[in-house]
């Protein structure tokens, strides 16, 4: 198929960017979206032009490196997939595709379609862990039985890949879904309850410091999340937060 | 023994590690504050090591090319992690895990290392649960297990099909705790370009900030390389696009021996190649072989009809299917080790029974598991005499709960529903058992340079068993390296900070700059990917699942010629002083072009078949690997001398005091 691409090009963080038009022929349905961009880049390199830079790594939907706002949607039109697993069979011959970086104040553009998501790391550093030493000298893993339902729910929250689609989808560029996924994982497990009060306050504080907006419950994040992280986690984080601040 | 001293402690096997820990030197907490350690790579091994070393009090700097440590490719491991907990009461023990791993590795790994791995395996699970890793549980609240290939017990712990992700996020969280305390400085989007030696010791690295392009000097008292494997030398593999050998290869060029490069794991269950545009291959977890049955049609005409789309796999009668693993290996059936399963798939496809357009695919079928689970679920749900549709519906729900994310991934890529029609799979490059040679302390042949996880060669011999990579990465990082590195660093308590304004750093930085300038000055005929794909084809066709002397010899010549062509004609646009993904790729491919030749040389010199290394000249009458213990019971450690083809071989003899060497049989 033949595609008309409108791609955001930006030299570096301090230069202004603009949309550049490209026409690409010979795209097949079995290609992934990133393989389609590979072909474009191969053409650009052969013409001596600089290829379009975009973040990607595992190309199997788990590392969370790839991003892209495709026709206005993070990770494109398909549901429950990252861009690397979006296949071109979702598009048809003659389509125009607009490709932009994830847009948020807290995610500044580094180059072309690459953004800086280190704000996410700093939110995790503020409290996204259980303070145990890694000596291995803990209690036997089966000492504390954990209800299967709770364990499964914790796992569902823990599957967040930190890609930032939730932020890009949100009109407020809120990072509540991301932050709440980690808060929930630990709030649901007995090991995590011990520091729950401090954790939620520290992580929320950092989230606000990074310049992310607040949640107004539109639910766009849940729709666009490639891992289907549930909005329930935001409700749980709010509950945890209220309970934490009322404890002082 | 000369420089290849494995430093294995004396004494009975089960006591070696404890004895060693009791005898090595420690560094007191006040002195640890004066010692710097660089950790390159932040996957399971690197992340775990960085967190633990920082927790002990050392000053740690981590480096990763990704934008966050959480993205290291350990995250993609699906199926699980082994541990000799014996929670199932099925007879498991440290000894059995040790034995299975040595046998699975086809008797090409060190007894003492593997026993230590088994010994600490239980601690890993305790540690990860304490960190909040949400492993799968049974209804009673206890941890659940499943089985993997090459073993007869259930010892694999898992978190759905995302075990690697959960373990990596655990290590990442432990790192974050130390970053928050200021004990780890994380340099993300940084690539190690070279190792710096001062007086023969590893004392730092030259790194490139991948955003600004700036070349930086970083010094330390020791350098840990936890940079993963080199499967991408095949271009197409299950590795991440950025996975590379640069750090290990730079260390190799500076004096670290490279061990058993030809020991590569071709994983049997990956989604087949769909076309020339393919950039990477996707694994379908080995855990699927717990419930999936592998088959091809018995009749060639059926296989042809399927390839032409005239027949559906579900239309082939049970008696016309060849469940070839169950047929050839009745004791282990579909759960034979990976090397055996991969070769068996290749054998059937080469014989003309492949089932997709390219003829390079076999079926992995869940129909009978769906029925089995459906019947059981109907019974436990109180449904008497359930009809076929109910059974299938219930069975599909059970399968979805176990493998849902894998099935979804398959459907997105292949556009077929694996609940209704069998999956198509084919072997793909997955893991490299070879790597930097290390002694029992995980130290390379360069003093102060350590290698952990997949980057070293140590524990898996010629074939790694499923769910053992996560175990080894975390064992190295959490429990082995933090002890053993102290023994070395105890001599550095009076050294003080290592300066970076010395001639050693000047020279290393200049070398890096020269190399990059040379890469940018190619005549500009072909892109980096053009060369990478060419290299991949040579590797897959001549150094892949079956190898022979003639092909390996020609592979060496072809790779050497390709390397020359690359350095003259590669095209790298953009500049050195900014973000430049083509330049990043070029540096990595340049090193693959050297490693590939050494790989072929190693495969050529090893005149036997063992594990993942199958030489067509050395096989039994029924096509099984024919090992030669008399002549090849050693680790091949290669010393860099200038050209890969001139690498000098050093042998570390493998001594088996506790295990009798046998022909590996899974029949």
pLDDT digits (tens, 9 = 90+) for B284-293: 988 899 899 9
Contact B146, B156 (CB under 8 A): yes
A6/chain B closest Cα distance in angstroms: 21
Q: Average pLDDT of B429-436?
A: 98
B581/chain A closest Cα distance in angstroms: 7
Out of A58, A129, A131, the one facing B240 most closely (by C-beta) is A58
Question: What does each C-alpha distance from B428 to B100, B431, B599, B618 come to in angstroms?
Answer: 23, 10, 17, 22
Q: Average pLDDT of B153-173?
A: 95
DSSP B460: S
* pLDDT at site B610: 96
List, in order, residues 6 or more apart from B31 with CB less than 8 Å away.
Answer: B493
Q: A141 and B136: CB-CB below 8 Å?
A: no
Q: A158 and B76: CB-CB below 8 Å?
A: no
Which residue in the block uniquely carries the two structure tokens 């075990």? B163
Contact B517, B576 (CB under 8 A): yes
Q: Give all strands (DSSP E) within chain A, no chain letters.
A: 3-9, 18-24, 69-70, 73-74, 96-100, 109-111, 114-115
Q: Average pLDDT of B341-365?
A: 95
From the list B542, B531, B607, B588, the residue with the least C-alpha distance to B564 is B531
Size of interface A-B (CB pairs under 8 A): 220
B137 touches chain A (CB under 8 A): yes
Lowest mean pLDDT among A52-61, B254-263, B515-524, B548-557: B515-524
List, in order, residues 6 or more apart from A66 with CB less than 8 Å away.
Answer: A34, A54, A55, A56, A57, A59, A75, A82, A83, A84, A163
Contact B226, B477 (CB under 8 A): yes
* Angle subtended at Cα B304 by Cα B299 and Cα B307, rounded to the nearest 5 degrees: 130
Rounded Cα–Cα distance for residues B162 and A60 (Å): 12
Most confident of B113-117, B290-294, B621-625: B113-117
Q: Average pLDDT of B200-210?
A: 98
Task: List the single best residue of B171, B581, B582 to mutate versus A (max A Cβ within 10 A).
Answer: B581
pLDDT band at A247; cut points 50, 70, 90: confident
Q: The tokens of B99 are what?
A: 């034995």
Contact A169, B113 (CB under 8 A): no
Rounded Cα–Cα distance for residues A223 and B43 (Å): 30
Q: The tokens of B274 are what?
A: 């769909």
Reduce the DSSP state of residue B7 to 3 states and report it: coil
The answer, yes or no, to whether residue B308 has pLDDT greater than 60, is yes
The answer, yes or no, to whether residue B2 has pLDDT greater than 80, is no
B-chain CB neighbours of A190 within 8 Å are: none
Which residue in the block uniquely carries the two structure tokens 């072009």? B593
Region of A184 (left: φ > 0; alpha: ψ -120 to 50; beta: rest) is: alpha
Q: B169 and A192: CB-CB below 8 Å?
A: no
Which residue in the block uniquely carries the two structure tokens 């029925």? B371
Q: B127 and A81: CB-CB below 8 Å?
A: no
B-chain CB neighbours of A35 within 8 Å are: 277-279
Task: List the single best residue of B132, B161, B188, B402 to mutate versus A (max A Cβ within 10 A).
Answer: B132
Out of B55, B238, B279, the one facing A38 most closely (by C-beta) is B279
A53/chain B closest Cα distance in angstroms: 7
Q: A142 and B278: CB-CB below 8 Å?
A: no
A134/chain B closest Cα distance in angstroms: 6
**What distance lies between CA B153 and its chain's CA centroid?**
23
Instruction: Find the residue in A nearest to B174 (Cα).
Output: A129
Rounded Cα–Cα distance for residues A159 and A225 (Å): 11
For helices B246-253 and B581-605, give the axis angle rounded to 10 degrees. Answer: 60
* DSSP calls for A17-52: -EEEEEEE----TTSBHHHHHHHHHHHHHHTTPPPP
Handedness of CA B461, B464, B469, B471 (dihedral sign): negative
Rounded Cα–Cα distance for residues B656 and A192 (Å): 45
Active site members of B: 338
Q: B70 and A121: CB-CB below 8 Å?
A: yes
């Amino acid at each position: 198929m033949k595609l008309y691409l409108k791609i955001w090009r930006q030299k570096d963080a301090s230069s202004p960017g603009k949309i550049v038009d490209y026409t690409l022929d010979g795209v097949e349905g079995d290609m992934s979206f990133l393989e389609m961009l590979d072909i474009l880049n191969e053409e650009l390199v052969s013409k001596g032009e600089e290829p379009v830079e975009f973040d990607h790594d595992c190309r199997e939907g788990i590392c969370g490196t790839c991003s892209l706002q495709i026709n206005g949607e993070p990770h494109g039109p398909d549901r429950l997939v990252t861009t690397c697993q979006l296949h071109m069979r979702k598009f048809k011959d003659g389509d125009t595709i607009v490709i932009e970086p994830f847009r948020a104040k807290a995610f500044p553009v580094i180059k072309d379609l690459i953004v800086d998501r280190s704000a996410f790391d700093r939110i995790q550093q503020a409290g996204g862990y259980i303070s145990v030493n890694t000596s291995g000298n803990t209690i036997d893993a089966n000492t504390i039985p954990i209800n299967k339902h709770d364990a499964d729910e914790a796992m569902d929250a823990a599957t967040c890949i930190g890609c930032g689609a939730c932020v890009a989808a949100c009109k407020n560029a809120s990072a509540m879904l991301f932050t709440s996924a980690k808060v929930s994982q630990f709030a649901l497990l007995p090991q995590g309850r011990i520091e729950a009060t401090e954790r939620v306050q520290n992580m929320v504080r950092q989230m606000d410091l990074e310049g992310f907006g607040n949640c107004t419950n539109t639910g766009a994040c849940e729709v666009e999340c490639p891992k289907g992280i549930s909005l329930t986690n935001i409700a749980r984080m709010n509950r945890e937060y209220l309970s934490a601040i009322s404890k002082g | 023994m000369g420089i290849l001293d494995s430093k294995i402690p004396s004494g009975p096997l089960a006591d070696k590690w404890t004895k060693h820990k009791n005898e090595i030197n420690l560094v007191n907490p006040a002195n640890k504050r004066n010692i710097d350690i660089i950790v390159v790579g932040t996957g399971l091994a690197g992340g775990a090591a960085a967190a633990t070393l920082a927790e002990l009090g050392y000053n740690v700097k981590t480096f990763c090319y990704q934008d966050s440590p959480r993205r290291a490719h350990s995250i993609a491991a699906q199926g699980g992690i082994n541990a000799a907990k014996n929670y199932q009461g099925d007879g498991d023990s440290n000894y059995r895990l040790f034995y299975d791993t040595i046998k699975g590795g086809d008797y090409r790994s060190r007894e003492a290392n593997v026993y230590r791995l088994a010994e600490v395996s239980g601690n890993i699970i305790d540690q990860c649960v304490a960190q909040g890793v949400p492993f799968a549980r049974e209804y009673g609240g206890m941890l659940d297990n499943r089985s993997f290939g090459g073993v007869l017990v259930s010892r694999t712990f898992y978190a759905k099909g995302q075990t690697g992700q959960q373990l990596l996020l655990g290590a990442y969280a432990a790192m974050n705790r130390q970053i928050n305390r200021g004990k780890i400085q994380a340099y993300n989007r940084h690539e190690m370009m070279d190792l710096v030696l001062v007086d023969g010791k590893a004392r730092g690295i030259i790194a490139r900030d991948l955003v600004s392009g700036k070349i930086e000097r970083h010094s330390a008292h020791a350098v840990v390389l936890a940079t993963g494997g080199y499967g991408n030398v095949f271009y197409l593999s299950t590795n991440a696009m950025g996975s590379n050998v640069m750090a290990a290869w730079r260390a190799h060029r500076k004096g670290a021996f490279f061990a058993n490069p030809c020991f590569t794991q071709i994983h049997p269950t990956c989604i087949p190649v769909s076309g020339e545009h393919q950039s990477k291959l996707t694994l379908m977890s080995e855990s699927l072989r717990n419930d999936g049955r592998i088959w091809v049609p018995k009749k060639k005409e059926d296989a042809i009809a399927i390839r032409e789309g005239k027949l559906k796999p579900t239309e082939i009668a049970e008696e016309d299917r060849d469940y070839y693993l169950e047929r050839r290996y009745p004791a282990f059936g579909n759960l034979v080790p990976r090397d055996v399963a991969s070769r068996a798939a290749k054998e059937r496809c080469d014989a003309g029974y492949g089932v997709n357009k390219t003829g390079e695919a076999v079926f992995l079928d869940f129909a009978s598991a769906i029925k089995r689970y459906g019947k059981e679920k109907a019974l436990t749900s109180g449904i008497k005499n359930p009809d076929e549709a109910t059974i299938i519906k219930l069975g599909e729900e059970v399968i979805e709960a176990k493998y849902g994310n894998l099935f979804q991934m398959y459907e997105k890529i292949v556009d077929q529903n694996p609940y209704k029609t069998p999956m198509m799979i084919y072997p793909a490059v997955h893991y490299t058992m070879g790597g930097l040679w290390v002694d029992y302390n995980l130290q390379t042949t360069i003093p102060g340079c350590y290698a952990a996880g997949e980057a070293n060669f140590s524990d898996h011999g010629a074939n790694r068993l499923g769910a053992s990579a996560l175990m080894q990465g975390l064992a190295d990082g959490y429990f082995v390296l933090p002890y053993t590195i102290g023994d070395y660093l105890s001599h550095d308590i009076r050294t003080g900070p290592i300066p970076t304004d010395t001639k050693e750093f000047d020279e290393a930085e200049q070398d890096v700059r020269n190399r990059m300038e040379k890469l940018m000055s190619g005549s500009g005929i072909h892109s980096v990917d053009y060369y990478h794909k060419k290299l991949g084809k040579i590797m897959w066709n001549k150094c892949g699942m079956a190898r022979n002397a003639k092909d390996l010899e020609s592979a060496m010549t072809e790779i050497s010629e390709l390397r020359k062509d690359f350095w003259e004609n590669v095209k790298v646009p953009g500049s050195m002083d900014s973000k430049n993904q083509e330049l990043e790729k070029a540096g990595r491919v340049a090193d693959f072009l050297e490693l590939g030749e050494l790989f072929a040389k190693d495969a050529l010199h090893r005149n036997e078949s063992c594990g993942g290394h199958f030489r067509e000249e050395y096989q039994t009458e029924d096509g099984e690997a024919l090992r030669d213990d008399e002549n090849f019971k050693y680790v091949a450690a290669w010393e860099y001398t200038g050209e890969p083809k001139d690498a000098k071989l050093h042998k570390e003899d493998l001594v088996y005091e506790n295990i009798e060497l046998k022909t590996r049989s899974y029949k």
